[in-house]
A and B are shown apart, each in its own frame.
Chain A
Amino acid sequence: MLAEHLPILHVLIPLVGAIVLLTGGVLRPLREVAWGLTMLVVLASAVSAFQLIPRVLSEGRISYALGNWKPPYGIEYAVDSLSLLLILLITSLTVIITLYTRHSIQRDITPNQQPYFYSAYLLFVGGLLGMVTTADIFNLYVFLEIASLSGYALIAIGRRREALLASYNYLMIGTIASTLFLLGIGYLYMITGTLNMQDLQARLEELYGSRTLLVGMAFITLGLSVKMALFPLHTWLPNAYTYAPDAITALMASLTTKVGVYTAFRVFFGVLKPSFLSQVVPLEEIFMLLGALAILGGSLMAIFQNNLKRMLAYSSVAQIGYIVLGLAMLNVSGMMGGLIHIVNHAVVKAGLFLAVGNIIYRTGLEEVDDLNQIAQQMPKTMLAFTVCALALIGVPLTAGFVTKWYLVLGSIEAGRWFLVPVIVVGALLAAVYLWRIIERAYFWSRKGGALTPPAPLSASREGGELGSPSPFTERGQGGEVNPDPPSPTLLPNSEQESQSPPAPKTSEVPLSMLIPTLVMAVLSLALGIFAVLPLNLAERIAKSLLGAE
């Protein structure tokens, strides 16, 4: 009996869990187990999501009529391979990050408030899962608001008082965006009289010239662009990510914008058909331009940030650019690149933010300049950070490489050669801003002066980068790349033993925080080496999305 309700279980479980935690938060005993309960809920949700895999792979789209009202009239939930990808991503990342929250959140809130925190947390996850599962566009709006509202709350929990302002600004921008989205839905409903996405797709095809549709789509596109932080509309993102609690930053950075992108995929290929993009409105070109701008602009701004989390936040803006670029190419390779980048970037960025969270948890340092020799203090964290950084840059054998490969292929297929240098330069810029951290963490002496390259700050930054455009050798054997090898006593044991006399003893974070970080690092490697599995799935999705042509 449970099996037939499978398509909705993974949404319901977190939502019910949220309510239980909220109402039960009054009771003292529940406060103690809030984290355990959350973990249980998240795990259950993940288990039910994984049960979906064989069915979706064999049957294709699974439809579920909510409350037994037949699809075009009632609200339909549907899981196809695109939603499946996102559902798996969300549930598994949430499990890992929930593990992480246990210790990391203690600095941000008192134990009394933990049930409420986890309640908002579960609501957030439930909202995201609902968004990727529903097949009803108004229902999507409702889940969007659930996820956003709890997201605002989660950001406001942050330690600094700036978190409140960040949350408020995000709330203003986010609400205007979703109101625009709602308005757009209104227009679509006005001309079609339906809210079911499949139904919309069928009915809209004759109406492609209609001005009402154009206006509606304009509103929807605008709203979604804000939600996924597409380049000129990304202003809410850096502050929100910087001041949110560390675990929440990891969660939001990896999931919120991705789900926004998913919604864009859904709307453009599930509600409209690809022909609309290419024939009626040159939206394709606009998105491509914006994507390219996002890559360059986001990366450039990331280079000039000194706050770790803010830097990674700007890098997120750039990465969204890659995904949008993939979406806009309208061919299978580009689309695959975009889709896989959703997964890869979520994993990699979560890993990076978790590693940064570890550093902040242990040392309280948030500025890039303070990170000298941090690798000696926290070797495992920095190892994870380095692996994820490499994956973000796109070094072969890591997750980022697969994506960029397909994006380059896609842009060549689409005949848009100018995008290839953009993608490559984007990767180089990513290398610049990430290398800054790695260099300091491994090679600089604690006293602030440059240990390895005795050059001024900016010059060494440039030189370290341009001298070796593919900095994938600094782990352990980094000495041979650097023009001036550091004293060999420091480096080799900075990774494993870390008991070298000049540095203080290793003080790693609690295991519950270390394990998720390492898992992310391993995953970002695994996604690069065993890329076949996600590639197959992504190819299926890309073909089915474009197949309507």
Chain B
Amino acid sequence: MLVFILGLYMTIVKGNLIKKVIGLNLAQTGVYTFFILTAKVNESTAPVYIGDEVRYANPLPQVLILTAIVVGISLTAFALGLVIRIYQAYGTIEESELSRLVQANREAQPSTLTPSSSGGEG
């Protein structure tokens, strides 16, 4: 939970877009560990069949989180790709500068971005 809140804090406070992505990752990791912890059974082992009757941890949350991690990876990949494109378009990835640029842009004539080479396809 602490990790989750830390990550959340980071996404809000940090001005650098990449650092925000890192924060997002942290937040997600917090949720993953939370899920994994719910699977813990006291004095249990890994859910591997070894012949005897043993207590074992609930494997289901781990499987779920595997899926969630995959989701997280694709999200991160896409977010980073997007940051690269933002950098190409604006020349900066600092939020304060970006909003300044956007503001200046709004006052001037809205410029159009020509469809450039790499479309984001997730």
- Residues on A lying within 8 angstroms of B by beta carbon are 22, 107-110, 113, 116-117, 119-120, 123, 138, 141-142, 145, 149-150, 152-153, 156-157, 159-165, 167-168, 171-172, 175-176, 179, 182-183, 186, 189-190, 195
- Give the residue of A110, A123, A141, A164 whose beta carbon is less than 8 angstroms from that of B85: A164
B122 within 8 A of A: yes
On chain B, the residues within 8 Å of A142 by CB distance are 67, 71
Shortest C-beta distance, B46 to chain A (Å), equals 19
On chain B, the residues within 8 Å of A175 by CB distance are 24, 28, 75, 79
- Give the residue of A145, A165, A171 whose beta carbon is less than 8 angstroms from that of B71: A145
On chain B, the residues within 8 Å of A145 by CB distance are 71, 75
- Give the residue of A120, A189, A190 whose beta carbon is less than 8 angstroms from that of B122: A120
> Whole-angstrom distance between the alpha carbons of A461 and B110 in the complex?
26
Closest residue of B by beta carbon distance from A157: B119
On chain B, the residues within 8 Å of A108 by CB distance are 115
29 A–B contact pairs at CB < 8 A? A22-B121, A108-B115, A116-B121, A152-B78, A152-B120, A153-B120, A153-B121, A153-B122, A156-B85, A157-B120, A160-B113, A161-B86, A161-B111, A162-B102, A162-B105, A164-B85, A164-B86, A165-B86, A167-B120, A168-B17, A171-B75, A175-B75, A179-B24, A179-B28, A179-B31, A182-B31, A189-B35, A189-B38, A190-B38
B50 within 8 A of A: no
On chain A, the residues within 8 Å of B89 by CB distance are 161, 164
- Give the residue of B31, B82, B112 whose beta carbon is less than 8 angstroms from that of A159: B112
On chain B, the residues within 8 Å of A22 by CB distance are 121
B22 within 8 A of A: no
Does B120 lie within 8 Å of A149, measured CB to CB? no
Does B82 lie within 8 Å of A156, measured CB to CB? yes
On chain B, the residues within 8 Å of A164 by CB distance are 82, 85-86, 89
> Whole-angstrom distance between the alpha carbons of A29 and B105 in the complex?
40
On chain B, the residues within 8 Å of A110 by CB distance are 115
On chain A, the residues within 8 Å of B105 by CB distance are 162
On chain B, the residues within 8 Å of A171 by CB distance are 75, 78-79, 82
Shortest C-beta distance, B41 to chain A (Å), equals 12
Shortest C-beta distance, B2 to chain A (Å), equals 13
> Whole-angstrom distance between the alpha carbons of A398 and B98 in the complex?
44
Chief secondary structure at chain B's binding surface: helix
- Give the residue of A116, A138, A157 whose beta carbon is less than 8 angstroms from that of B64: A138
Does B120 lie within 8 Å of A172, measured CB to CB? no
- Residues on B lying within 8 angstroms of A by beta carbon are 4, 8, 11, 17, 20, 24, 27-28, 31, 34-35, 38, 61, 64, 67-68, 71, 74-75, 78-79, 82-83, 85-86, 89-90, 98, 102, 105, 110-113, 115, 119-122
Shortest C-beta distance, A365 to chain B (Å), equals 12
Does A117 lie within 8 Å of B119, measured CB to CB? yes
On chain B, the residues within 8 Å of A163 by CB distance are 113
Does B112 lie within 8 Å of A160, measured CB to CB? yes
On chain A, the residues within 8 Å of B82 by CB distance are 152, 156, 164, 167-168, 171
Does A168 lie within 8 Å of B27, measured CB to CB? no
Does A149 lie within 8 Å of B4, measured CB to CB? no
Shortest C-beta distance, A515 to chain B (Å), equals 25
Does A172 lie within 8 Å of B24, measured CB to CB? yes
> Whole-angstrom distance between the alpha carbons of A186 and B121 in the complex?
30
A159-B113 CB under 8 A given contacts A164-B89, A183-B31 = yes
Closest residue of A by beta carbon distance from B24: A175
Does A168 lie within 8 Å of B11, measured CB to CB? no
Does A176 lie within 8 Å of B8, measured CB to CB? yes
- Give the residue of B31, B110, B121 whose beta carbon is less than 8 angstroms from that of A119: B121
9 closest pairs, A vs B, by CB?
A116-B121, A153-B122, A161-B89, A161-B113, A156-B120, A113-B119, A145-B71, A190-B38, A153-B120
Closest residue of A by beta carbon distance from B86: A164
Shortest C-beta distance, A322 to chain B (Å), equals 31
Closest residue of B by beta carbon distance from A144: B71
Does B83 lie within 8 Å of A168, measured CB to CB? yes
Closest residue of A by beta carbon distance from B90: A161
On chain B, the residues within 8 Å of A168 by CB distance are 17, 79, 82-83, 86
- Give the residue of B4, B64, B110 whose beta carbon is less than 8 angstroms from that of A183: B4
Does B34 lie within 8 Å of A176, measured CB to CB? no
Shortest C-beta distance, B27 to chain A (Å), equals 6
On chain A, the residues within 8 Å of B115 by CB distance are 107-110, 159
Among A145, A149, A179, chain B packs the most CB atoms within 10 A around the CB of: A179
On chain A, the residues within 8 Å of B35 by CB distance are 186, 189
Among B34, B90, B113, B121, chain A packs the most CB atoms within 10 A around the CB of: B121
Closest residue of B by beta carbon distance from A151: B122
> Whole-angstrom distance between the alpha carbons of A186 and B68 in the complex?
12
> Whole-angstrom distance between the alpha carbons of A183 and B64 in the complex?
12
Shortest C-beta distance, A198 to chain B (Å), equals 18
> Whole-angstrom distance between the alpha carbons of A186 and B89 in the complex?
39
On chain A, the residues within 8 Å of B112 by CB distance are 159-160
> Whole-angstrom distance between the alpha carbons of A495 and B113 in the complex?
35
Does A176 lie within 8 Å of B120, measured CB to CB? no
- Give the residue of A113, A161, A162, A172 whose beta carbon is less than 8 angstroms from that of B121: A113
